[in-house]
Amino acid sequence: MNAMRKIDTPRKIAVVTGAGSGIGRAVSRALSGAGWSVVLAGRRTETLEETARAAGGDSLCVRTDVSLPEDVDALFAAVGERYGRIDLLFNNAGTFGPGGIALEDLPYSAWRKVVDTNLTGTFLCAQAAFRMMKAQDPQGGRIINNGSVSAHAPRPDSVAYTATKHGMTGLTKSLSLDGRRYRIACGQIDIGNAATDMTERMRRGVPQANRELAVEPVMDAADVATTVLHMAELPLEANIQFATVLATAMPFVGRG
């Protein structure tokens, strides 16, 4: 499964970052089930291999820290060597950072880790995919960025995460604009309370805008994957620029 060999196939090729768990795993399974070849990128080889087994189909695991330019270069070199092209990048890798730390107490190192992963990592992967999509024949492809409902409204004590997700929206718009002449479409999915390890704390109670604790509802990550698959399989002449998928009863719309 992981041998570095280029294969001739009519299957579409997707790269999913943060593929070792949660939304990345769910999206990888959905893409594989729909007949895509999926390149699984993440920091832990063992969890990527678990995703590969769960997804089935044709896949390639590449250990990648998206915040490191050399890792991103190696990832897309592996894609080129194995498949010769890329049709989709799902920019999913991200971190919330340390929870429960007030803005005035947030260490610089924690800020940098979140920014380097969520925003710089997304840029590095998008840039590498953009270069491949521009150069390949036939030209073009699609980039889907994983934003968050935090791209619209913050939670308490989440300045680094919220800032990066607002930045993601600007990145998505610039990629969409700059990609037009090369048939490169770019959209963003903003997700609220998908049931993953990252959102497990929602079931125990999280601070609301008024600082009271409240348990929040979650939704199945497979429902997010269904939306990503729909976005991915549109013809390049059509694009979902922004989509918001959230647990219906979560306190997002309105005043809590």
88 occurs within a structural domain:
yes
Question: Catalytic pick from 83, 108, 161, 182?
Answer: 161
Distance CA(150)–CA(161), nearest Å, equals 8
254 occurs within a structural domain:
no
Residue range 67-81: average pLDDT? 98
Query: pTM for this one?
Result: 0.91
Residue range 74-97: average pLDDT? 97
Most confident of 149-153, 175-179, 210-214: 175-179
108 occurs within a structural domain:
yes
For tokens 């995919």, what's the residue? 129
pLDDT score for 256:
63
Distance CA(49)–CA(52), nearest Å, equals 5
CATH number of the domain within which 206 lies: 3.40.50.720
114 occurs within a structural domain:
yes
Cβ(189)–Cβ(228) below 8 Å: yes
Question: How many other CB atoms are found less than 10 A from the CB of residue 25?
Answer: 26
| φ, ψ at 190 (rounded to 5°) | -105, 120
Res 233 pLDDT > 90? yes
DSSP state of 77: H
Distance CA(92)–CA(146), nearest Å, equals 5
**Beta strand pairing status for 88-91 and 206-207?**
unpaired
pLDDT band of 215, cuts 50, 70, 90 = confident
Res 216 pLDDT > 60? yes
Cβ(247)–Cβ(192) below 8 Å: yes
Res 6 pLDDT > 50? no
Distance CA(101)–CA(227), nearest Å, equals 33
Cβ(32)–Cβ(51) below 8 Å: no
The CA angle 199-129-163, to the nearest 5 degrees, is: 40
Distance CA(121)–CA(89), nearest Å, equals 13
Amino acid at the residue 242:
F
Res 79 pLDDT > 70? yes
236 occurs within a structural domain:
yes
pLDDT score for 255:
63
| Lowest-confidence pick of 124-138, 199-213, 216-230 | 199-213
66 occurs within a structural domain:
yes
Which range of residues forms the domain containing residue 149?
A: 13-246
* 82, containing H or E segment: helix 69-83
pLDDT score for 1:
41
Distance CA(188)–CA(186), nearest Å, equals 7
Residue range 44-72: average pLDDT? 97
Q: How many domains does the chain have?
A: 1
Query: Long-range contacts: 204-212, Cβ < 8 Å, 24+?
Result: 206/155, 207/155, 207/156, 207/157, 208/156, 208/251, 208/256, 209/156, 209/256, 210/256, 211/156
Which percentage of the chain shows pLDDT scores above 70? Answer: 94
- Angle of helix 69-83 versus helix 121-135 axis, rounded to 10: 30
Res 180 pLDDT > 60? yes
pLDDT score for 163:
96
Better-scored residue on pLDDT, 222 or 98: 222
83 is catalytic: no
pLDDT score for 208:
79
